[in-house]
Each structure stands twice: as C-alpha cells, then as structure tokens.
C-alpha cells in the first residue's frame, strides 16, 4: 500500500531479501584513470590496482597502501577508512562476502578499480541490546510526531482544553502586522489585552501576557499567514507545552504503576543514602571505631610468616631508574620518599604484604636479605621496582596491614547492628498460615 514520508508518497517493491550481518567497517583503495591521476588510461589503472593487490596478498599494511595508491582524497589519508555507512552496490556485495581482516579481489565500479577490506566487524545485536538505540531513532522520526499529536488530542479532552477565539482575535488586532515580524515587541500590546485569557485547561488559566512571553522562544522562523493565524499557532504551541507539563505533574495521581515506581526509586535512594551514612562511609571515616573493632577481633586478622615490600611505580622510566640507584646504595625509605616529593617526581609508593605462597615474587624474595630490591619491570605501561623492607613472623597482622580487611568486617558488623536496631524498633510478624498458602 502507499506509504507517506516527509518527502511524499511512496510505493515500495521488494526485489530481494538479504540476511542482516551486523555492522562491518570498511576501508578501500580506489585507482582512477585520467590526466590528473598516476594511471592515465584504463590499462594503467588495471596494472596499478593489480600491483596494490599483490602487495596486499604479500602482507603489506592495507592502510599504508591506501595512502600510496588510492585516489580517494576523503579516505586515503585515513588509510582508506570509509566507516560503516552505505556504499556503492558493488562494494556492498563484497562487504556481505568478506569477514574481518579479509580483503577483496580488484573489482570495478563506475568510479574506478577498488580493493576493499573489512577492518572491524560487529555481529548482529539482539533486540534487547538495540532497544534503546531504536527508541532514540523512532523518537526522532515522523512516527514520534504522530504519537505526540495523538497524546495532545487525548490530553486536550482529558483536561477540557478550551482556546478562546475572541482573545486570539483581540491580540491579533492590537498587535497588527508587527506580530508577524521576528522582531515583534510585546510592549506594543496594551495591558488590558495582556490580561485576557488565551486558553484554559483543568483548573489552569493562561493569559495573553504569558503567551507573549512564550513567543520569542517559540519563534524560530517568521510566521506565515495572518496575525490571527500566527497568534493561534503560538497559543497551540504553548498549550502543548503546558499540557505535557501538567500531565507530568499528575502522573503520580493518575498512574498507580508510575506512582509505585517513583516510590520504589525514592525509597531505594533513601536506603542507599542511609546505608552509606550508617555503614559504608562510617567504616572508612570512623578511624577510632575501626581500630577498636580491630583490637576486639584479633582472630580475624591472623597471618602466616610474610614479607613487607615497598613498591615504587611511575610512567617515567628515568625516575624509577633513580629510585633503583638509591635502593642499591642502601638509601633509607624516608630519604627516597622525601627526595621524590621535593623534586616533584611522578612516582607513587605503596606498602605491600605477601605470604610466601602468594605469588612468584613472594617466593623469590622470601629467602633474600632485607633491603634486596628487584629489577625494574614494565607492567601495563608502568615502570616498577620493589624492595624487601622487613620480614614479619606468624601472628596478628598490624593495623595498617589489615586495614582494608578490617573495613570490610567492620562494615558487616555495623550493618548487623543497624538491622538489629531496626528490628527492635519496628517489630514484624510473619503469618505462616497465610505465607504457606502461596506455595500450594
């Protein structure tokens, strides 16, 4: 059947169906021929594209070949990158055939000879993965306008919207042809006219004064038609804005599901804030309480024989080389830390604790004498050196060593105490006779 778009009416005939393959990002090399190009005729173009193709087959970098051979000024400097958009029919055929990192044989289009490569491929997403993206697209097309118009018609009936034609006529008469100008000044309308009611809905009244205050923000182009047409259009636009805002304010009264959802979000946010205040943040900030918990529960912080390491890391290799030199010279850690700070070296230092069985580093350092430092390693773009500070016997960990563990245990205790307090304050009773009926 005929369908309508913003361009007009269409008849669509399906000639083929192609399974969706997801998104494929494409790069290409195109060789054109003519006086302005390296290939002056079609034979030279074929020879040049074949030369590029042989280099592709031998493993040469496709992006580099595109810069060297391609005559497409928009993509050659970007390694031939064409992105994921629609392509020429010949190119779309190859896109369907190729997988990631594969390239085509030379093929011809109306513009020249091509070699095409798939640089990235993303499999077809599920509806759940695409839902938000599809909603955003639909909200921007003409279907959204139809839905919005229907909603506004419904709201006008629901809230008994009435436009006052006499007021619109009076406004147009007072403003005259100036109302059609983008430079229209509301001061030209007298105060008595401004007090007139332009439209009503629910128990709300909107005056001409409010309408005139709205006009500058609503007017993107010069109005068409008569001053009365323009005034009516402005009033309808303001009414649409106000009706939608009013509906939003009434949602919790008119929509039980939305009211429950709003309550659920509100309660969830309150619970999160209270839990942060009573448990998570308190466990971190209440140092006295944390130390008291640590002292009361030594059994939770027992450890076998272990080593204490000082680790220095930085993206600046020269700074870590300097630290390694100081460690080799047996400079004490206070000197190293103070000097790094005074010289503003971008080095971070932390204290680490390891039992012998924790990792290969611990195993290798356990038998070494105190003061031994490791070689410099490069790990995730950081240069790192570690030094054996001391050896600790089996027994209770120090507070500094056990701090992160203690915070977790202390949070659990705070939460348990809080739940006990709430149960005592708000006693609950489970009616088993009713509960059991749910499972019959």
136 pLDDT above the threshold of 90: no
The pLDDT of 402-409, averaged and rounded, is 93
The pLDDT of 145-172, averaged and rounded, is 93
Question: Which pLDDT score, from 0 to 100, does residue 21 have?
Answer: 80
The pLDDT of 135-140, averaged and rounded, is 82
Give strand pairing partners of 205: 200
- CA nearest to 371, candidates 398, 332, 335: 332
232, part of any domain: yes
The parent domain of residue 339 ranges over 305-393
How far out from the chain centre does Cα 41 lie? 50
The pLDDT of 321-340, averaged and rounded, is 94
Work out the angle at residue 36's Cα, subtended by the Cα atoms of residues 33 and 39, and round it to the nearest 5 degrees.
Answer: 35
Confidence bin at 217 (pLDDT 50/70/90): confident
278, part of any domain: no
The answer to whether the beta carbons of residues 386 and 373 sit under 8 Å apart is yes
143 pLDDT above the threshold of 90: no
The secondary element (H helix, E strand) that includes residue 214 is helix 208-218
404, part of any domain: no
| Domain co-membership, 245 together with 309 | no
216 pLDDT above the threshold of 90: no
Contacts of 172 (CB under 8 A, 6+ apart): 179, 226, 227, 228, 230, 231
Question: Which pLDDT score, from 0 to 100, does residue 124 have?
Answer: 83
Helix axes 165-175, 208-218, angle to 10 degrees: 70
Question: Which pLDDT score, from 0 to 100, does residue 16 have?
Answer: 87
Confidence bin at 270 (pLDDT 50/70/90): very high
146, part of any domain: no
Question: Which pLDDT score, from 0 to 100, does residue 93 have?
Answer: 92
Question: Which pLDDT score, from 0 to 100, does residue 433 have?
Answer: 87
Question: Which pLDDT score, from 0 to 100, does residue 265 have?
Answer: 94
pLDDT above 90: percentage of residues in the chain: 76
333 pLDDT above the threshold of 80: yes
350, part of any domain: yes
Which tens digits make up the pLDDT trace of 370-399?
A: 999 999 999 888 999 999 999 999 999 989
CATH of residue 376's domain is 3.10.50
| Domain co-membership, 91 together with 174 | no
142 pLDDT above the threshold of 80: no
15, part of any domain: no
220 pLDDT above the threshold of 80: no
Which tens digits make up the pLDDT trace of 244-263?
A: 999 999 998 998 999 999 99
163, part of any domain: yes
The pLDDT of 148-176, averaged and rounded, is 94
- Among 76-80, 145-149, 389-393, where is mean pLDDT lowest? 145-149
| Domain co-membership, 164 together with 233 | yes
The pLDDT of 206-224, averaged and rounded, is 88
Which tens digits make up the pLDDT trace of 39-75?
A: 999 999 999 999 999 999 999 999 999 999 999 999 9
Confidence bin at 229 (pLDDT 50/70/90): very high
311 pLDDT above the threshold of 80: yes
The pLDDT of 132-160, averaged and rounded, is 87
| Domain co-membership, 182 together with 97 | no
Distance CA 137, CA 144 (A): 9
DSSP character string of 309-350: EEEEEES-HHHHHHHHHHHHTT--HHHHHHHHHHTT---EEE
Which tens digits make up the pLDDT trace of 361-370?
A: 889 999 999 9
Distance CA 188, CA 181 (A): 13
Helix axes 227-254, 165-175, angle to 10 degrees: 140
73, part of any domain: yes
Give strand pairing partners of 378: 383
440 pLDDT above the threshold of 80: no
| Domain co-membership, 101 together with 170 | no
126 pLDDT above the threshold of 90: no
123 pLDDT above the threshold of 80: yes
DSSP character string of 112-172: -EEEEEEEEEEPPPPHHHHHHHHHHHHHHSHHHHHHHHHHHHHHHHHTT-EE-HHHHHHHH
Question: Which pLDDT score, from 0 to 100, does residue 359 have?
Answer: 86
Number of domains in the chain: 3
In terms of pLDDT, which residue wins out, 65 or 218?
A: 65
């Amino acid at each position: 059947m005929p369908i309508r778009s913003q361009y007009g009416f269409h008849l669509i005939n399906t000639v083929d169906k192609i399974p969706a393959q997801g998104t494929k990002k494409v790069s290409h090399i195109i060789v054109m021929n003519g006086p302005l190009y390296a290939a002056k005729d079609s034979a030279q173009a074929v020879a040049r594209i074949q030369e590029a193709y042989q280099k592709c087959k031998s493993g040469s970098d496709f992006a580099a070949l595109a810069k060297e051979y391609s005559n497409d000024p928009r993509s050659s400097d970007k390694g031939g990158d064409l992105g994921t958009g629609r392509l020429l029919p010949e190119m779309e055929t190859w896109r369907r055939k190729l997988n990631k990192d594969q390239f085509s044989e030379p093929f011809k289009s109306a513009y020249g000879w091509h070699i095409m490569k798939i640089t990235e491929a993303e499999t077809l997403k599920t509806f759940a993965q695409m839902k938000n993206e599809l909603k955003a697209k639909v909200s921007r097309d003409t279907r959204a306008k139809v839905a919005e118009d229907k909603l506004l018609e419904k709201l006008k009936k629901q809230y008994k919207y009435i436009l006052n034609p006499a007021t619109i006529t009076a406004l147009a008469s007072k403003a005259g042809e100036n109302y059609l100008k983008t430079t229209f000044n509301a001061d030209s309308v007298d105060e008595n006219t401004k007090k007139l009611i332009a439209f009503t809905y629910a128990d709300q009244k909107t005056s001409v004064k409010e309408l005139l205050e709205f006009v500058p923000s609503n007017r993107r182009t010069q109005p068409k038609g008569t001053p009365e047409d323009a005034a009516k259009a402005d009033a309808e636009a303001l009414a649409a804005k106000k009706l939608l805002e009013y509906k939003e304010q009434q949602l919790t009264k008119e929509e039980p599901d939305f009211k429950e959802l709003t309550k659920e979000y509100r309660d969830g946010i309150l619970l999160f804030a209270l839990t942060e205040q009573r448990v998570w943040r308190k466990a971190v900030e209440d140092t006295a309480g944390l130390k008291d918990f640590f002292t009361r529960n030594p059994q939770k912080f027992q450890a076998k024989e272990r080593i204490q390491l000082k680790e220095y890391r930085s993206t600046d290799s020269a700074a870590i080389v300097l630290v390694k030199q100081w460690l080799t010279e047996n400079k004490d850690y206070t000197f190293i830390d103070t000097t790094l700070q005074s010289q503003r070296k971008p080095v971070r230092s932390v204290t680490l604790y390891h039992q012998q069985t924790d990792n290969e580093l611990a195993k290798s350092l356990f038998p070494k004498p105190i003061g031994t430092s490791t070689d410099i390693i490069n790990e995730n773009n950081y240069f790192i050196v570690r030094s054996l500070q001391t050896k600790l016997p089996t027994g209770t960990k120090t507070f500094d060593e056990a701090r992160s563990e203690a915070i977790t245990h202390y949070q659990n205790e705070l939460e348990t105490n809080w739940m006990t307090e709430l149960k005592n304050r708000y006693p609950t009773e489970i009616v088993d006779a009713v509960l059991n009926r749910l499972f019959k």
